Chain A
Amino acid sequence: MKARKLLSVSMAAAAALLTMSATAMAEEEPVTIKVFSNNPDRTADQGLVEQTIFDAYMEEHPNVTIEVEALDDEAYKTKFKAYAAGSEMPDLVSVWGQPGFIDEVIDAGVLAELNPEDFADYGFLEGSLDGFSGDGKLYGLARNTDVIVVYYNAKMFEDNGWEVPATYEEFLTLADTINEAGFIPVAMDGGDKWPLYIYLYDLMNKKDGTDLMQKTLDAIASGDYSDLAFIEAADMLREAAERGVFQIGFETTDYGTAQNLFTNGQAAMYYMGSWDMSMATNMDIPDEIRENIRCFNLPVNGENADPLALTAWNGGGYSVTENSANKEAALDLLKYMFLPENWTRIAWENGVCMSAQDFSQFATGNETEVQKQLMDMVAEATAISGTSIGDLGTSEYKTVCEDTVQQLAIGSITTEEFWAGLSALAGK
């Protein structure tokens, strides 16, 4: 009896050992997670943050290999579509929480549903995940809080006795003064077109920011763009371009060239998103410019204008794909990436961007001046615009919006023709 008992105990112990070793073996099973990213530069900016997190994850999980394929936005979107049409979709992908991109991707069942409960403690800012949801289900996590601002060279301003404008009129007058001094007032990436419709949306937001995103969505659906703030904003964009606020040839200047005009001192200001706060920590930029980069919120005055309204949105993010061969592993990586001490902390501490999570907890007081200014702007904001006009419709709407806003800015079409062109897409 004693011997049988001993045998049973021994067998149970052996079974337990076997189970444990099997579990350990299973844990050690090599896994390759394929990541498709829109951050091709892995040594700077958001690409660096991504890579730092991936490297740390692989160190903590020796059985995991993360293979990254990265392309620029436009090439990325094209290949994303090709992947989605095929059967070998990468496991973790960059996405944009904007209807023009994400709606049809969700409809096609490409993205895996996420459990919001898993991220309840992650400190995502209110509303930041709305764009990544469809029919009440969550399909992705937002990476950034993007704010559009006017960067300026504080030393150039000081040397020339220029003041940061408080009104739109002052802004235009300042541009005239800068032109007379032989500099470019605002470096504008008009070749990529989307900064132009963001400028337009910025003006629309500042003119009358009440519920702008819903107003714009309604206008896209109905084709009725007769709102006075819309019409005035389009006139203001055209006037700014005509008056020489942007460099000559802004309509064919690409992102890098526009940024270079500012960072090599040819332009006094640069209109771009908060993700370019990393200029202040970019050692490739000459000291006298890098250390003097500041920013302000484009001022717009008027009867209903709100000077503290911000044109901001949660654009880029990540999703796990529905047909991923390593769905659980990819989900685990996504959870790891967005632990506040990972994406938010690394991005903030390196001055790369403001995440869509509560980044204020990582403020050290050692931030760059631009970071501090952006933090203040977000803290003081009375209204946030949400996704910009070109990203609120379909892909076709976005393309037409891009082309026509560029034509509007260079004076090829009138304000009426611009809105009529968008109006013709109603219901499409």
Chain B
Amino acid sequence: MQKAYSNKKIIFTLIAPGLLMFVFAILAPICLSVYYGFTDFSGLGAYQFIGFNNYKELFGDRNFWMSLRNSLLLAIGFICIQHPLAIITAALLDRMGKRAEGFFRTVYFLPNVISVAVIAYMWKFIYNPNFGLLNKMASALGFSGKTNWLGSGMAIWSVLIVLIWHGFGWGMLIYYTGIKNIDPVLYEAAAIDGADNKQTFLKITFPLMMPVIKINVTLAIISALKQMETVYLLTNGGPGNETQFLANYLYKQAFSSFRYGYGNSISVIFVIVCILATQVLNKIFPKEE
């Protein structure tokens, strides 16, 4: 066995599938993206190399910066609103009885198993100013006038609520699993020492959850930057480009404006932003917990 593992041919054969997968599914597309980012390719026919023109245009593109701002805003929303709520909910669930625990766990996770298209259209109807649930409820409570929830100025907040609500179940479930993996002996010891719920959460649950929090926050940031389907179906970036997000803007440029080269330059910046975000998180969260 030892001999086999030191045989270079065998080692290469064993890692080849993974290596090939990485080269063809990840590395090659990124390289092609970088390549096309320097062209004016429309997706059809001939194209020319235009150097850094796409990048020059990108840095002066208001809609690109708005998309990036919205994506980062969503990431902040995930970190500051969704995740604190998710971790508290997970801790509360852990303390509930078996039936209630199972019931609420299912309820909170339910939005995640519903198709994105259904979610988007459901919220579209809820937000509709003419027959939507929100305005009907407001009217039943005595408020007059119709609020345009997806209108200019309000749309970004309405979209953020949907996205934070939709992703809540995943975050909660990962935290819940993390909490379940904490040795119950620690809680018993804390209880014997007279620790209350708050102290138990802050001194035991929270510190031991740091690795899970790190993973969850990283996933949240990447998911915020990659956000596409819900926005596409809910507002498609509108009105104007007020609810435009990075991935949706990339798609719009590449497949609606048929500026494939420009879309690829956005994707290159997109990858760089993702790498930077991961590096920042690595700095924030210590490697050894």
Contacts and interface: CB of A to CB of B under 8 A. Distances in A.
A252 B45 contact: no
Contact of A252 (B44, B146, B150, B259): B150
A399 B252 contact: yes
B256 A406 contact: no
B43 A252 contact: no
A396 interface: yes
A88 B130 CA distance: 45
Contact of B258 (A74, A110, A395): A395
Contact of B240 (A257, A398, A403): A403
Max chain B CB contacts within 10 Å: which of A81, A251, A404? A251
A249 B130 contact: yes
A245 B78 CA distance: 39
Contacts of B149: 249
A410 B238 CA distance: 11
B235 interface: yes
Given A249-B148, A406-B238, A107 B256 contact: no
Contacts of A413: 240
Contacts of A252: 124, 127, 150-151, 155, 235, 238-239
Nearest to A81: B43
Contacts, number: 95
A177 B98 CA distance: 60
Interface string A51-77: 000000000000000000000001001
Residue among A105, A394, A410 with max Cβ neighbours from chain B (10 Å): A410
Contacts of A412: 152, 239-240, 242
Interface in B32-55: 42-45
Contact of B128 (A81, A257, A403): A257
B130 A261 contact: yes
A191 B124 CA distance: 12
Task: Give the interface SS of chain B, mostly helix, strand, loop or mixed.
Answer: loop
Contacts of B146: 248-249
Contacts of B241: 403
A249 B45 contact: no
Interface in B124-153: 124, 127-131, 146, 148-152
A249 B238 CA distance: 11
Contacts of B236: 191
Given A249-B129, A252-B238, A399-B256, A410 B45 contact: no
Contacts of A110: 44
B199 interface: no
Contacts of A78: 255-256
Interface string B239-268: 111100000000010011111000000000
Contacts of A407: 239-240
Contacts of A257: 128
B131 A266 contact: yes
Given A81-B258, A394-B258, A410-B239, 17 more contacts: A77-B255, A84-B44, A107-B44, A107-B45, A193-B238, A248-B148, A251-B152, A252-B150, A252-B151, A395-B258, A395-B259, A404-B240, A406-B240, A407-B239, A410-B240, A412-B152, A412-B240
Interface of A: 74, 77-78, 81, 84-85, 104-105, 107-108, 110, 184, 191, 193, 247-249, 251-254, 257, 261, 266, 394-396, 398-400, 403-404, 406-407, 410-413
Interface of B: 42-45, 124, 127-131, 146, 148-152, 155, 235-236, 238-242, 252, 255-259
Closest 4 CB pairs of A and B: A108-B45, A407-B240, A395-B258, A249-B129
30 contacts: A74-B256, A81-B44, A85-B43, A85-B44, A104-B258, A107-B45, A108-B45, A110-B44, A191-B236, A193-B238, A247-B129, A248-B129, A248-B151, A249-B148, A249-B151, A251-B151, A251-B238, A252-B127, A252-B151, A252-B239, A257-B128, A266-B130, A266-B131, A395-B258, A404-B240, A407-B240, A410-B152, A410-B240, A412-B152, A413-B240
